[in-house]
Structure 1
Amino acid sequence: MSGQTYFITGGNKGIGFELVTQLSKAKDKNVIITTTRSPERAKKLYELAKKFTNIHVIDLDVGDAKSIDTIEAQLDKIGVKGIDIYISNAAIFQSLDPILKTDGEVFLKHYAVNTLGPFLVFQKVYKYLLAKDTRKAIFISSIAGTISPFAPFHTTAYGQSKVALNYSTIQLSRELASENFIVVPIHPGAVSTESSQEAIAPLAESNPVFFEAIKATLITPEESVKSIISTINGFEAKDSGIFYDYKGEVLPF
């Protein structure tokens, strides 16, 4: 799998940044197009792009339809003719409140960014994926997006948004099967990122035992992404529409 073109959302930090880093440094001459909604907070990403000329950064807020509408113009400006692999990574996890204490706007924001955004972005990159034979659409999901077994703490808006994401990946995999697309949601593991640390921080006070248990299971972005890349490279048509973890193990929906 050499010389592939990747489109990765949310490349300025966490799992997204590590995906950009590892793929840009690979011995294969990959082309990486990645996105950030806050250029002023993406200093490390822009520094990496200066070091590796195969990285292209575009502005994108996956929760904003007007921003999504600019994707094609930005890709055309770069000169992108085709994309091999789309990795929908950008997401938010901003609440651990129970349903009775979660404001409607919190639900809507998570849905806009974590569920609707990934597929509206896919609509824009679809024609570029069609231009290549690889045709892989990977959606970074979460074990919180399964209802069997159920998460042992409140994921509420985040969990709901990931369940909907998983549902839509199944539908998309069926819609595009005749066009030889491979559509897969992936749980990246419990990864120690800035966002995940902020998300679980309230548990330190409300459920300290469980907080320590989660901390003990955290893996590094490097470990997660190394396995994610290997797993993605191994995907075949038979894997489309199946929920996998970063190691390639099948998960229940």
Structure 2
Amino acid sequence: MSGQTYFITGGNKGIGFELVTQLSKASDKNVIITTTRSPERAKKLYELATKFTNIHVIDLDVGDAKSIDTIEAQLDKIGVKGIDVFISNAGIFASLDPILKTDADVFLRHYTVNTLGSILVFQKVYKYLLAKETRKVIFISSVAGSFSNTLPLDTTAYGQSKVALNYSAVQLSKELVSENFIVIPLHPGAVYTESAQVSLAPLVAARPELFANIKDLMLTPEESVKGVISVIDGLEPKDSGIFYDYKGEALPF
């Protein structure tokens, strides 16, 4: 959609970077506020922001409550009065270990970033979404967070964090129905990003045949994000609380 203000976490790489790219190119009337945890590693993002002046980059570590507390001041400095679409994209997938071999700090890190971070960031941008009538809230989730789907990988800590995120999205869809919010968890597909390459590296050595099969099925960021944006654009109030994928198909929880 044209003339919308988007807030996208984790815009420096992968799906987040592609979201920023496609939305900024779609219309110069769009305003894209995006975040990066490591400005020194966001060279491509800053170059894009130089090319497209409708992009604004702020510093944010979604795994750090103190960093999250700075969001409002940074948005006010930019002059943001309202946000149409919030896309919680930043997250980690840093372990392929089974439950018996997963340390407590790995579980906690995934929950802190993927679940709690998403919720706390939304709390900060909530008032800006209230200032607009669109009020779309998208939590980038994963099929790994579905009880009804089984994957050939041990997505232990990651999967648990996405289950909790999905629960939170459904809960919010109920809490905010009277305020006309549309809240969904959204599976972007299996996307071959830089982060995915790192996460799947142990699989390359341990089970190369399985990795080859998985890689053949993976999407490019461009393919995924084209679908994601189409789904977001088409969301209606009746869709709130439904788990969708990038093709617009409803997924089981």
TM-score by length of 1: 0.98
Q: Note if 1:53 corresponds to 2:53.
A: yes
2:129 matched to which residue of 1?
129
TM-score by length of 2: 0.98
Cα distance between partner residues in 1 of 2:92 and 2:188: 14
Cα distance between partner residues in 2 of 1:36 and 1:28: 22
1:196 matched to which residue of 2?
196
Report the aligned-residue RMSD: 0.8
| Amino acid corresponding to residue 204 of structure 1 in structure 2 | V
Cα distance between partner residues in 2 of 1:215 and 1:49: 31
SS in 2 for 1:2: coil
1:148 matched to which residue of 2?
148
Cα distance between partner residues in 1 of 2:6 and 2:156: 31
Cα distance between partner residues in 1 of 2:135 and 2:173: 11
1:242 matched to which residue of 2?
242
Name structure 1 gaps, 5 residues minimum. none
Count of aligned positions: 253
Cα distance between partner residues in 2 of 1:222 and 1:69: 32
Name structure 2 gaps, 5 residues minimum. none
1:87 matched to which residue of 2?
87
SS in 1 for 2:138: strand
Q: Note if 1:222 corresponds to 2:238.
A: no
Q: 2:141, 2:187 within 8 Å by CA — same for their partners in 1?
A: yes
Cα distance between partner residues in 1 of 2:90 and 2:210: 26
Residues 81-120 of structure 1, C-alpha deviation per residue, up to 9 Å, x if partnerless? 0000000000000000111111100100000000000010
2:176 matched to which residue of 1?
176
Measure how far apart 1:206 and its partner are: 2.2
| Amino acid corresponding to residue 75 of structure 2 in structure 1 | L
Cα distance between partner residues in 2 of 1:146 and 1:86: 22
| Amino acid corresponding to residue 227 of structure 2 in structure 1 | S
2:37 matched to which residue of 1?
37
Measure how far apart 1:243 and its partner are: 0.3
Measure how far apart 1:8 and its partner are: 0.2
| Amino acid corresponding to residue 62 of structure 1 in structure 2 | V
SS in 2 for 1:3: coil
Q: 2:141, 2:185 within 8 Å by CA — same for their partners in 1?
A: yes
| Amino acid corresponding to residue 75 of structure 1 in structure 2 | L
Cα distance between partner residues in 1 of 2:163 and 2:198: 21
Cα distance between partner residues in 1 of 2:204 and 2:230: 34
Residues 40-89 of structure 1, C-alpha deviation per residue, up to 9 Å, x if partnerless? 00000001101111000000000000000000000000000000000000
Measure how far apart 1:152 and its partner are: 2.2
Measure how far apart 1:28 and its partner are: 5.4
| Amino acid corresponding to residue 196 of structure 1 in structure 2 | A
Q: Note if 1:16 corresponds to 2:16.
A: yes
- Which stretches of structure 1, 4 residues or more, deviate above 6 A after TM superposition? none
Cα distance between partner residues in 2 of 1:18 and 1:2: 17
| Amino acid corresponding to residue 92 of structure 2 in structure 1 | I
| Amino acid corresponding to residue 128 of structure 2 in structure 1 | Y
Cα distance between partner residues in 2 of 1:152 and 1:143: 12
1:166 matched to which residue of 2?
166
